[in-house]
Amino acid sequence: MINAATIHVRNLAIRYSLLLICAAVAAPNIVHAHGTAQTPNQLGNRAITFPDTETYQTLVVDLHTHSVFSDGHVWPKIRVDEALKDGLDGLAITEHLEYQPHRADLLNPDRNKAYTEAASAAEGSDLLVIRGSEITREAPAGHINAIFIEDANKLINAENPPEDLTDVLGFYTAANQWPAQKAVEAAHSQGAFIFWNHPYWTRQSPDGIARITDFHADNAKNGILHGIEIANGNTYSEEAFAIALAHDLALIGVSDVHDLIDWDYKPHEGGHRPVTLVLAEDKSLAALKEALFAKRTVVWFRNTLIGRAPELIPVLQASLEISALSYRKDTSVAQVTLTNKSDMTMQLRYTGEHSLMLSADRITVPAHGEVEVQVKPGAVVPTLELPFVVENALTAPKQNPTLTLVSKR
Ligand SMILES: [Zn+2]
Ligand SMILES: [Zn+2]
């Protein structure tokens, strides 16, 4: 149980921490929610860009954000505007059902309100707005997102809530009496895709290490829990990644933004929010949902791509192109150009048998840039295979994938 003094201490702790995960406290920033969020796009296009794979469309989605309808500080329309600026294909605003710090000002009996506001703001655009909620409990259940739900109102059951609307803790406590299991089962009965949020959150796991619990293991086994955040805001969890692999959960990366994307990630300086790349049959809510249940996801966090090999390798292959093979005049020194069609600056380590001319074994291919590579096979050959370890991609904790590019004359 939380008391007011604890809340105060937590508020201070979070205020002075740069790690803002699902702040279950009021943040100190004063924002005029109905004003215009100034987001000058000084560097031009800030859209998060990864190419489609041979088989699938690569959808860029943020499945965990907040607005004023729980503890966020912006109106849902601003989330939609940010998503459009970031070139997202899909967005979910997932309000805390039980933690409602603005309820004295914004009491709305319909918990779908953030969704309907966002869906209306997105009309006329091709942004997919996904209905979702954050089920908010203390450990061990912790925080759980349910998306592709039908009705958020059925995921909360606060009996005898306090009459005083400013009694935020009282409402939270009343709502927490309803077991987390009932809430996830209610979401499951709506066909929801359900994932475990920030399982390493230091407020619920003080050493910052994610550990599987019976609650999560049982729900994963029973097909009720489908995914797990391995990246949330500024944080990444190798342990959550290991849990995902051990319990067959989809890998999810989210912003969990409460304030402004521009403040938290500085896209005008080249930053970006963490997102999930979803390999979908097409760009539609149905295809997105199908792909999530099929766990066809890759997480884009800082300058790292994280995914299982069957999803990650095709994204890397689509991102990195190799030119036709040519030779320097009157020599057997081969030259090829590597072209990067993605947002990730590729950090490659060459592991081939022939030595290189322009570098030792490290090659960096800038995002949306290219580099020339010269190789010395010792003779003019018609085909050259160049194997690389992609050092800023992960297929398992501490495991980098290998990508072999083939160039022909
Ligand atoms: Zn949370
Ligand atoms: Zn959250």
pLDDT values of the chain reduced to their tens digit, one per residue, 409 residues: 333 333 333 333 333 333 344 444 333 333 333 333 333 333 468 999 999 999 999 999 999 999 999 999 999 999 999 999 999 999 999 999 999 999 999 888 899 999 999 999 999 999 999 999 999 999 999 999 999 999 999 999 999 999 999 999 999 999 999 999 999 999 999 999 999 999 999 888 899 999 999 999 999 999 999 999 999 999 999 999 999 999 999 999 999 999 999 999 999 999 999 999 999 999 999 999 999 999 999 999 999 999 999 999 999 999 999 999 999 999 999 999 999 999 999 999 999 999 999 999 999 999 999 999 999 999 999 999 999 999 999 999 999 999 999 999 9
CA–CA distance, 181 with 256 (Å, rounded to integer): 23
CA–CA distance, 349 with 373 (Å, rounded to integer): 12
CA–CA distance, 369 with 310 (Å, rounded to integer): 25
**CA nearest neighbour of 129 among 284, 260, 261, 252:** 284
Taking the centre of ligand 2 as the mean of its atom positions, its distance from the CA of residue 72, in whole angstroms, is 9
Ligand closest to CA 133: 2
Domain ranges (residues) in the chain? 33-302, 316-408
Ligand closest to CA 199: 1
Ligand closest to CA 94: 2
What pLDDT does residue 7 have?
A: 37
Instruction: Show the tokens assigned to 202.
Output: 């230091």
**CA dihedral defined by 39, 40, 41, 42, rounded to 10 degrees?**
-150
Taking a 5 Å cut-off on Cβ, the residues next to ion ligand 2 are 22, 134, 256
What pLDDT does residue 1 have?
A: 32
**CA nearest neighbour of 136 among 168, 98, 167:** 98
CA–CA distance, 285 with 292 (Å, rounded to integer): 11
Q: Pick 33-302's CATH classification: 3.20.20.140, 3.30.750.24, 3.40.718.10, 3.40.50.880.
A: 3.20.20.140
Helix (H, G, I), strand (E, B) or coil at 14: helix
Helix, strand, coil percentages, rounded to 5, for the chain = 25, 25, 50
User: Tell me: domain 316-408, CATH 2.60.40, correct?
Assistant: yes
What pLDDT does residue 226 have?
A: 98
Taking the centre of ligand 2 as the mean of its atom positions, its distance from the CA of residue 105, in whole angstroms, is 20
CB 199 within 8 A of CB 247: no
Residue ranges of alpha helices (H) inside 125-179 are 168-175
What is the phi-psi region of residue 216: left when phi exceeds 0, alpha when psi lies from -120 to 50, beta otherwise?
alpha
What pLDDT does residue 44 have?
A: 60
Taking the centre of ligand 1 as the mean of its atom positions, its distance from the CA of residue 43, in whole angstroms, is 32
Taking the centre of ligand 2 as the mean of its atom positions, its distance from the CA of residue 63, in whole angstroms, is 10
Q: Which residues contact 319 (CB under 8 A, 6 or more apart)?
A: 50, 51, 340, 341, 342, 344, 346
